[in-house]
Amino acid sequence: MTLFRTLALGAGMVGLLLSTAHAEGLQGKIIGFSQIGSESGWRAAETSVTKAEAEARGIDLKFADAQQKQENQIKAIRGFIAQGVDAILVAPVVATGWEEVLTEAKEAEIPVVLLDRGIEGPEDLYLTSVASDQVKEGRVAGEWLAGTVGEAQCNIVELQGTVGSSPAINRKQGFEEAIAGKANLAIIRSQTGDFTRSKGKEVMEGFLKAEDGGKNICAVYAHNDDMAVGAIQAIKDAGLKPGSDILVVSIDAVPDIFAAMVAGEANATVELTPNMAGPAFDALQAYWDAGTEPAKFIITESKLYTPADDPQGEYERRKDLGY
Ligand code: AHR
């Protein structure tokens, strides 16, 4: 069931996802959700899908937007504990600094589920983590680029996600693994764009200026699509063609990157489903109903999309999902 739900959302069939099969099980449960913020289109979609999944199951979801700040997330979690919620979902903005507050949740016997990002520290502080294999995402992106350029010399610039976040750390590692040992591929510049479109554009402008107006750059690898979309604008402003003069590869599979593919301005993306909440709620229900301990890590798919994969259709399928 979990796999079906994940795949179905990946295909953009949100209506099929909001199954009422489990509605009774979680009916009336109070669940706190500490969301990072709204830095990207993907994040907005995750928020919409989580709210819709909660509503379909009769859950009273207490939503807290941390506006990108870990201190706000910690405050929200403490608030949920004080309210005596039944469970807490957290999308942790960075990977460190959670031990104290999650110990408080554990002592209050409130199960915690991590969504879409991982943390460092003892695994017994959370019931389960629903996320992609972020190292694999980076590897898939890197393998696509290595396969596409072949033996040609290719200078790569990298737009990293939020400093200290698990996807920034892991997507960098996976990409580097994929290009390791290939003498023709080199990351010549790498900087954070904080997962936002505006920062992605600004940082790419700096890369272009520093690299002979972009003539020395063969590809941009962005840790998410929003930064890639910002970079595409910067490349166009510099008088170059994104997608051909400079290849663009990123992660998320949001509608705007498919629109860019249709325009010939983006080359590849790795899908991250925004439906982390469906598997999380399934795990909580099984835990409460039958005492079933979920797997510690519930891993979602990481599928590669290129312009050969009907980008117009993918755009249409995703555009109403709250991105
Ligand atoms: O943690 C998932 C990442 O966070 C998404 O790839 C990015 O768009 C978001 O901001």
Torsion of CA 246, 251, 257, 260, to 10 degrees: 10
**Contact 90 CB / ligand 1 (< 6 Å):** no
**Contact 116 CB / ligand 1 (< 6 Å):** yes
Q: Can you name the residues that pair with 297 across neighbouring β-strands? A: 129
**Contact 197 CB / ligand 1 (< 6 Å):** no
**Separation of 233 CA from ligand 1 center, angstroms?**
20
Instruction: Report DSSP letters for 290-317, one per residue.
Output: H-PPPPSEEEEP--EE-TTS-HHHHHHH
Other beta carbons within 10 angstroms of residue 295's beta carbon come to: 12
**Separation of 228 CA from ligand 1 center, angstroms?**
13
Residue 254 CA, closest ligand 1 atom number: 8
- Rg of the chain over Cα atoms, rounded to whole angstroms, equals 20
pLDDT for position 12: 40
**Separation of 6 CA from ligand 1 center, angstroms?**
17
Other beta carbons within 10 angstroms of residue 287's beta carbon come to: 17
**Contact 252 CB / ligand 1 (< 6 Å):** yes
Matching fold, domains 7-133+273-301 and 134-271 = yes
Q: Which residues contact 243 (CB under 8 A, 6 or more apart)?
A: 232, 260, 261, 263, 264, 265, 266, 267
pLDDT for position 25: 86
**Contact 256 CB / ligand 1 (< 6 Å):** no
Fold held by 7-133+273-301: Rossmann fold (3.40.50)
Question: What is the residue-level pLDDT of the chain in tens, covering all 323 positions?
Answer: 333 333 334 434 444 344 444 446 899 999 999 999 999 999 999 999 999 999 999 999 999 999 999 999 999 999 999 999 999 999 999 999 999 999 999 999 999 999 999 999 999 999 999 999 999 999 999 999 999 999 999 999 999 999 999 999 999 999 999 999 999 999 999 999 999 999 999 999 999 999 999 999 999 999 999 999 999 999 999 999 999 999 999 999 999 999 999 999 999 999 999 999 999 999 999 999 999 999 999 999 999 999 999 999 999 999 888 78
**Separation of 252 CA from ligand 1 center, angstroms?**
7
Out of 257, 271, 272, give the residue to mutate to test ligand 1, the one with the largest number of ligand atoms within 8 Å of its CB. Answer: 272
Fold held by 134-271: Rossmann fold (3.40.50)
**Separation of 24 CA from ligand 1 center, angstroms?**
31
pLDDT for position 99: 98
Residue 39 CA, closest ligand 1 atom number: 10
**Contact 267 CB / ligand 1 (< 6 Å):** no
Out of 46, 163, 195, 251, give the residue to mutate to test ligand 1, the one with the largest number of ligand atoms within 8 Å of its CB. Answer: 195
Pairing mode, if any, of strands 268-271 and 304-305? antiparallel
Q: Where are the domains of the chain?
A: 7-133+273-301, 134-271
Alpha carbon distance 161, 224 (integer Å): 7
